[in-house]
A and B are shown apart, each in its own frame.
Chain A
Amino acid sequence: MAYLRSRLLHLIPVFFLVTFMSFMLMNLLPGDVVDTILAGEDAATANDPEVRRQIEEELGLDKPLPIRYVLWLGDLLQGDLGRSFITGKKIGDLLLQRIPVTAQLMVMSLVFALIIAVPLALLSAYKSNSYIDRLITAGAFGLVATPTFMTSIVFIWLFAVILQLLPAAGHAPMFFGVWANMKHFILPMLAIGLSEVPIFLRVLRVDLITTLQEDYIALAKAKGLSTTYILIHHAMRPSSFTLITVLGLQVGRLISGLVIVENIFALPGIGKLLIDAIDARDVLVVQAIVTFSAIAYVAINLSVDVLYALLDPRVNRRAEEARQAARRAREV
């Protein structure tokens, strides 16, 4: 539990700093906050004293900055993200509407990435330094150099333009049928999934190579167990820690990918909402999404830590190693 406690003590200040940074986005702005909020409106609305007073009141602009932060954070923790001054809708509702699409894409992409990365990592580690290992490593290297928006374009060109198998853009809710829904998710899933593959691959490969040199693997071999059995049951299991950590730390990257892909494929998720809000200069929605994604990152990483503590009380060393390995892999 010492591990969990130290992680918690670390994530609490991180949470406050992260929310403070998001809060300050609005307040570090050159010029008047109200002007910025009304920048997307026409002149008549923007100069209406009644509108301006209403905004000032809602944001509590008459109060000092620290008080405003505390009030804002209090509202946030109660799920009140305020109201968009452009559309008049509750921002919390807007986000809730969009979350299912984003979550579906996220889960599908991660599952796809793992289905590709785990067997390749096993193969790569088992035959390390062989021809096939080098081929896999080189492939991963190429994928890293391909930004998500480029992968998306290549897939659209290949599957929507040339082969005409899948739609290039759009979204169909589940009640139109499972296939109608899924076919709009396949290309986005491939684009995001493939950008995650090299990260998982790299971390797992190194991890597995170390594991395969352990004595208990030699013992398992001596007992005459099959290679596949050893790889899956003996070698893969300790790597699940590493995998969970990478998943947690990857959330940030994943969100960046979602923003790009949702916009290319016109999927109505949070990422699409972000760009739409930027185009409409809907300041509060932009701020809310940034805050939301940063809090999601902290929350997911906290869950990873809790999960560790539950899975294995002796986690301290292993968890820290996994964290470091994941950090390193992510830099590239």
Chain B
Amino acid sequence: MAMSINFVQPWWKRLGIVFWLCVGWLIFISFGALLAPWLPLYDPLSTNLDRQFEPPLSEGYLLGTDAVGRDLLSRAIHGGRVSLTLAFTAPFLSLAVGLVLGLSAGYFRGRVDTAVSVFTDSILAFPNIVGVMVILFFFGATLPVMILALAFFGIPPEVRVARANTILFAEREFVLAARAQGASSVRIMVRELLPNVIVPMLSLVLFGMSIVIIIEGALAFLGVGFPPPTPTWGKMVGDGFEEISKAPHITFVPAGVMFLTILSLNMIGDRLRALSDVKASAV
């Protein structure tokens, strides 16, 4: 996004109010999901057949209830647990793998570079939602499988950024100085290059988190994600969809929560990237 940065203001003001609203939302939703079992909420699974299809803001139910009278607020907060668990693990695994591959490709160039690019291009040939879906199908819909599958498809962008920045920094004087002092390749990569390369990769992690949430949501919506009755945002949207003509709020409450979370992650990622951006043309 286009923006101008005023360097006179303190750093936290420079990022703007929208940025902090997004951070606030993520903290709220993360802690909500983390502490959900201990919060004073209804049981997300317990039904109440006297109170079906309650609209939002009805008595006792802030966001209303679904087709079998389950509290939507409680379900929305619990529903974040799966998505956020995935979001806080898979992209970091992608980062770790991408860092190793990207550093090696950018530092050694030549055959290593070719091999890495064949590998990442092969991953890109698989549509990520389809890929994760099929891996879950073949290896079972469990959390570890899902984390690994999501991490796998998150590797290519991390590699690209790591490689581009490595190439850029590998020609700088401090790397030359380290080499002149007799530092080994591994030492140069870890001590000199890694600290410079990892910052732009971290902003990519935020986009990775939002992609993970989108994929999980889509799979759960299609009914090929985690087995029921675990409430997840995507599954809630899917359940509500069946009642959309009668009570659209059952769909739009979880959809809205999901939308805000994805939007916040993208917004923060975008701001951080703008701050840590290496000249794009150098890539």
A-to-B contact residues, CB < 8 Å: 10-11, 13-14, 17-18, 21, 25-26, 28-30, 36, 128-129, 133-134, 137-138, 141-142, 144-150, 153, 156-157, 161, 249, 252-256, 259-260, 263, 274-275, 278, 283, 286-287, 289-290, 293-295, 297-298, 324, 327-328, 331-332
Q: Is the CB of B204 within 8 A of A331?
A: yes
Interchain CB contact (< 8 A) of A293 among B127, B138, B262:
B127
A128 surroundings in chain B (CB, below 8 A)? 2
The CA-CA distance from A228 to B2 in the complex, in Å, is: 24
Q: Which of B207-265 contact A (CB under 8 A)?
A: 207, 210, 214, 217-218, 221-222, 224, 234, 237, 241, 244-245, 248, 251, 255, 258-259, 262-263
> How many whole Å from A143's CB to the nearest CB in chain B?
10
Assuming the contacts A149-B217, A149-B221, asked whether A29 and B258 have C-beta atoms less than 8 A apart, the reply is no
B130 surroundings in chain A (CB, below 8 A)? 255-256, 259, 274, 289-290, 293
Q: Is the CB of B125 within 8 A of A133?
A: no
Q: Is the CB of A149 within 8 A of B127?
A: no
Q: Is B121 an interface residue (CB 8 A)?
A: yes
Q: Is the CB of A153 within 8 A of B237?
A: yes
Listed residue (B130, B237, B245) with the most chain A CB atoms within 10 angstroms of its CB: B130
Q: Is the CB of A149 within 8 A of B122?
A: no
> How many whole Å from B215's CB to the nearest CB in chain A?
8
Q: Is the CB of B122 within 8 A of A275?
A: no
B62 surroundings in chain A (CB, below 8 A)? none
A278 surroundings in chain B (CB, below 8 A)? 133-134, 137, 224
Q: Is B129 an interface residue (CB 8 A)?
A: yes
Q: Is B139 an interface residue (CB 8 A)?
A: yes
Q: Is the CB of B122 within 8 A of A18?
A: yes
**Which of chain A's residues has its CB closest to B124's CB?**
A252
CB<8 Å pairs between A and B, sample of 29 = A11-B121, A14-B118, A30-B139, A134-B1, A137-B2, A141-B266, A142-B263, A145-B262, A147-B218, A148-B218, A149-B222, A149-B237, A156-B244, A157-B248, A249-B124, A252-B127, A253-B128, A255-B130, A256-B127, A256-B130, A259-B130, A260-B222, A263-B222, A274-B133, A275-B224, A290-B130, A293-B127, A297-B125, A327-B160
B126 surroundings in chain A (CB, below 8 A)? 18, 21, 252, 290, 293-294, 297
B218 surroundings in chain A (CB, below 8 A)? 147-149, 256, 260
